Structure 1
Amino acid sequence: MPAADAREAPGADRDADDLRLLVAAAESAADIALGYFRRDPQVWHKENASPVSEADYAVDRHLRETLLAARPDYGWLSEETEDDPARLDRARVFVVDPIDGTRGFLAGSDEWTVSLAVVEHGRPVAAALIQPATATLFTARAGHGAWIGGRPLALAGARDLGNATVAGPSALTARLQREAPGVRAAGYVASLALRIAMVADGRIDLAIAKGKAHDWDIAAADLIVVEAGGVLSRFDGAPIVYNREHPRHGALAAAADPALLARVAAILA
């Protein structure tokens, strides 16, 4: 739990209470996921050929039971739970990816996360993103900042594309490099949530994603990068709104500077 939150009186703020709940759930979920990590879990494939493992299902079940027991009036949206449209009528909704970056998880990479957010009025208000293999915890609360391991984040990334370090699909990164030869490729990070959070903690300057992201991929990371002082934006300029009937988004990018994102969108759109 971030030190700034720990000093607040319990119950003093609903977002703070929800953040405490998310942090506890993320940490226990991380322990469950690590119990399957590099231990050859059973794997199935969805209709779109993306893999899902018994670890995804175990973490999803734990989070659903834990979070909804604490907040039975909240809605639920998770990659690994059949969607219930009742969430559309709830004031607050848990948006969860039990394991973001399942391919990386199955390959034994440390680039996977457990992503948790609370969404209200279409925007995340509390977020916890944990990278279990490295014990790295990102947190954020709307209007109160973002933290990594309890340390406040203050984004100071590149504002010139020619000096930017970029993580994203190789084809998109190559297109940016043709327009701005100074662009440095950081490689592909399996977890999109982690890719965006890496902008918030300064490891990279720009994170890009093709138009396949869903609410559960980006809600927590969105709040983290915004509260750190950055921007997450769709290439087409449409606002990112969560908990809609169809929770999917177009191609997007995160960076420190809106002007940098506008140039990226002009190149890649």
Structure 2
Amino acid sequence: MPIESKSEWEDDLDLLLQAAQAAGARAMEFFRKEPEVWWKNEGRSPVSEADIAANDILKSTLLAARPNYGWLSEETDDDPARLSCDTLFVVDPIDGTRAFITGRDLWCVSAAVVHQGHPVAGVLVAPALNEAFASRLGGPALRNGKRVRVSEPGEGGPLRLAGAEDMVARLDRATLGVIQRIPHVPSLAYRLAMVADGRIDGTLVKVNSHDWDLAAADLILTNAGGALVALDGAALTYNRPEVRHDVLCAAGNSWLGRLISASCDLADH
């Protein structure tokens, strides 16, 4: 992928962080105050008035500053014109809406700039936790301004792995050894950030995650020394006609290969 000037992505990163913090502050006005909720995708996915309000702030702020960029958001009707854009914003106004509407604090605003199919700037703002992750192409992964790194495999200790119970049960234990399954983390983006900062060693991602769940966290994890990949080890490409993804796994590079090998039975999950 051609690399543009670093200063351009630094400016975009600053813009993303400003917009995501404003969107997060707006969402907090609804948090634990019983916001109105609707259901989409045949009643499978909730969306709240906070999602819409945060989306409005992101869209107006980001596109006003970069009117030539495309747009992809969970809460905005998809515009096929994005496919002709070299660069676009990929956002999820509230990743972890179910947690948000039940008053749990594990949710975040996810916002990324994707250039020629790859994230080049990304932020995750978790206002209820007072946390902000940020990274750009070629830069460090930061949480609240401090560099973070993935964990290294321990000597004889269990691997701390997040994932659905039935997925973890199908892993090859002979390859991975002892596994400590981490309780459910309702925000996929935040769960990937937990891999990036070493709180957990890796995660499995069920089929049907979307670009907006992944793009920002993917870059943050990469710059922290890890990767988010398909079960064949391939990196993800964003801004395709189909924004959904198959089963994925994420971990630090030191043991990602072991996780991929142990996950071969999950391809049809």
Q: CA contact under 8 A between 1:219 and 1:242: conserved in structure 2? A: yes
What is the TM-score normalised by the length of structure 1? 0.91
Instruction: Give the structure 2 partner of residue 23 of structure 1.
Output: 17
Identity over the aligned pairs, expressed in percent?
A: 49
Residue 136 of structure 2 corresponds to residue 138 of structure 1: no
**What is the 5 A alignment of 1:1-269?**
13-48=7-42, 49-158=44-153, 163-176=158-171, 182-257=178-253, 258-269=256-267
Q: CA contact under 8 A between 1:165 and 1:184: conserved in structure 2? A: yes
Compared with structure 1, are the counterparts of its residues 225 and 58 closer, same or farther at alpha carbon in structure 2 (3 Å cutoff)? same
Aligned counterparts of 1:160 and 1:108: Cα–Cα separation in 2 = 38
Please list the CA deviations of residues 171-209 of structure 1 after superposition, one character each: whole Å capped at 9, or x if unmatched: 112333866561001111110001111000011001111
Question: RMSD of the TM alignment (CA)?
Answer: 1.9
What is the TM-score normalised by the length of structure 2? 0.91
Q: CA contact under 8 A between 1:159 and 1:256: conserved in structure 2? A: no
Compared with structure 1, are the counterparts of its residues 24 and 55 closer, same or farther at alpha carbon in structure 2 (3 Å cutoff)? same
Q: CA contact under 8 A between 2:6 and 2:137: conserved in structure 1? A: no
Please list the CA deviations of residues 60-95 of structure 1 after superposition, one character each: whole Å capped at 9, or x if unmatched: 111000100000000000000000011111121000
Aligned length: 259
Runs of 5+ in structure 2 lacking a partner?
A: none
Instruction: Give the structure 2 partner of residue 3 of structure 1.
Output: none
Compared with structure 1, are the counterparts of its residues 236 and 102 closer, same or farther at alpha carbon in structure 2 (3 Å cutoff)? same
> How much has 1:161 moved relative to structure 2?
10
Aligned counterparts of 2:107 and 2:172: Cα–Cα separation in 1 = 26
Counterpart secondary structure, 2:209: coil
Q: Letter of the aligned partner of 1:260 in structure 2?
A: R
Aligned counterparts of 1:114 and 1:108: Cα–Cα separation in 2 = 16
Runs of 5+ in structure 1 lacking a partner?
A: 1-10
> How much has 1:29 moved relative to structure 2?
0.8
Counterpart secondary structure, 1:190: coil
Q: CA contact under 8 A between 2:34 and 2:101: conserved in structure 1? A: yes
Q: Letter of the aligned partner of 2:258 in structure 1?
A: L
